[in-house]
Structure 1
Amino acid sequence: MSLYLIVFVVIGASALAMAWLPKWLERFSFSYSIVFVALGYLLYMLPLGLPEPDPLRENEAALRLSEICVIITLMGTGIKINRRFTLKNWAVPFRLVSWTMLLCIAAMAFMGWWWLGLSLASALLLGAAMAPTDPVLAADVQVGPPSDEVEDHARFSLTAEAGLNDGMAFPFTWLAIALAIHGVEPTEWLGRWLAYDLLYRIVAGVAMGYLMGRLLAYLLFRLPKQTRFPETHDGFVAIAATLLVYGLSEMIHGYGFIAVFITGLTIKNIERDYEYHRELHDFTDQIERILLVVVLLLFGGSVARGLLDSLTWQGAVAGGIFVLVIRPVAGMLGLWGTKIPLREKWVISFFGIRGIGSIFYLSFGLQEAKFAEPDQIWSIAGFIILLSVLVHGILATPAMNYIDKRRTPSDLKVK
Structure 2
Amino acid sequence: MSIATWVLLGGLILIAMILIGTLVERLPLSGAMIYLALGVLLSPYGFGILDLDPIVHAASLELVAEAALLISLFSVGLKLEVPILDRRWIASYRLAFLSMAITVGSIAAIGVAAMGLPLGVAIVLGAILAPTDPVLASAIQSRPGAGFDSTRFSLAAEGALNDGTAFPLVLLGLGIMQLHDLGDSGWSWWLVDVLWATGGGMVIGKLIGGGVGKLVIYLRTRHHHAIGMDEFLSLGVIAVSFGAAQSCQASGFLSVFFAGLALRRVRNFPMAGTLPIPRGHGAEEYDVLETATHSHHASGAMTRAVLGFNEQLEGIAELGMVMTIGALLPAVRSFAMLWWFVPLVFLVVRPASIVLGMAGAGVPMYKQVLMGWLGIRGIGSVYYLMFALNRGIAEAFAPDLVSLTLGTVTASIIGHGITVQPLMSWYERHQLK
The CA distance in 1 between the partners of 2:426 and 2:225, in whole Å, is 49
Pair 1:361-2:393 in alignment: no
Contact persistence 1:109–1:127 (CA under 8 A): yes
Q: CA RMSD in A?
A: 2.3
* Aligned counterparts, 1:6-45, within 5 A: 6-19=5-18, 21-45=20-44
Matched, 1:58 2:52: no
Moved more, 240-249 or 394-403: 240-249
TM-superposed deviation, 1:227: 4.1
Shift in Å at residue 7 of structure 1?
Answer: 2.3
Structure 2 residue aligned with 1:344, among 352, 358, 367?
Answer: 367
Residues 186 and 297 (structure 1), Cα distance of their counterparts in 2 relative to 1, 3 Å cut: closer
Partner of 2:318: 292
Aligned partner of 1:116 in structure 2 is: 115
CA deviation vs aligned residue, 1:48-92 (integer Å, no higher than 9, x gap): 663432222210111011000000111111001122223411111
Pairing of 1:83-94 with structure 2 (within 5 A): 83-94=82-93
Cα distance in 2 for residues equivalent to 1:112 and 1:402: 35
Q: Which amino acid aligns with 1:230?
A: A
Distance in 2, matches of 1:73 and 1:354, equals 14
Per-residue CA shift, 1:82-128, capped at 9, x if unaligned? 22223411111011012210111001111111111112111111100
2:174 equivalent among 161, 174, 177 = 177
The residue number in structure 1 matching 2:96 is 97
Distance 2:71 2:85 in 1: 24
Alignment match, 2:403: 379
Larger radius of gyration: 2
Q: In 2, are the aligned partners of 1:316 and 1:383 still within 8 Å (CA)?
A: no
Aligned residues: 402
Identical columns (%): 27
Q: 1:301 to 1:403 in 2, by over 3 A?
A: same
| Structure 1 pair 14–212 and aligned structure 2 pair: CA distance change class (3 A) | same
SS in structure 2 opposite 1:407?
helix
1:154 aligns with 2:171: no
Q: Distance in 2 between matches of 1:208 and 1:149?
A: 29
For the 8 Å contact 2:125–2:401, the answer to whether it is kept is yes
User: In the alignment, what sits opposite 2:244?
Assistant: 248
Structure with higher RCO (Cα < 8 A, 6+ apart) = 1
1:324 aligns with 2:347: yes
2:43–2:50 CA contact under 8 A, matched in 1: no
Q: Which runs of 5+ in 1 are unaligned?
A: 410-415
TM-score normalised over the length of structure 1 = 0.90
Could you list the per-position Cα deviations for residues 176-209 of structure 1 after superposition, in whole angstroms to 9, with x for gaps in the alignment? 11111169x9875611111111112122211210
Change (3 A) 1:127 1:20: farther
Specify every segment of 5 or more residues in structure 2 that has no aligned partner in the other structure, as ranges.
269-298
- Once residues 84 and 18 of structure 1 are traced to their aligned partners in structure 2, the CA distance between those partners, rounded to angstroms, is 36
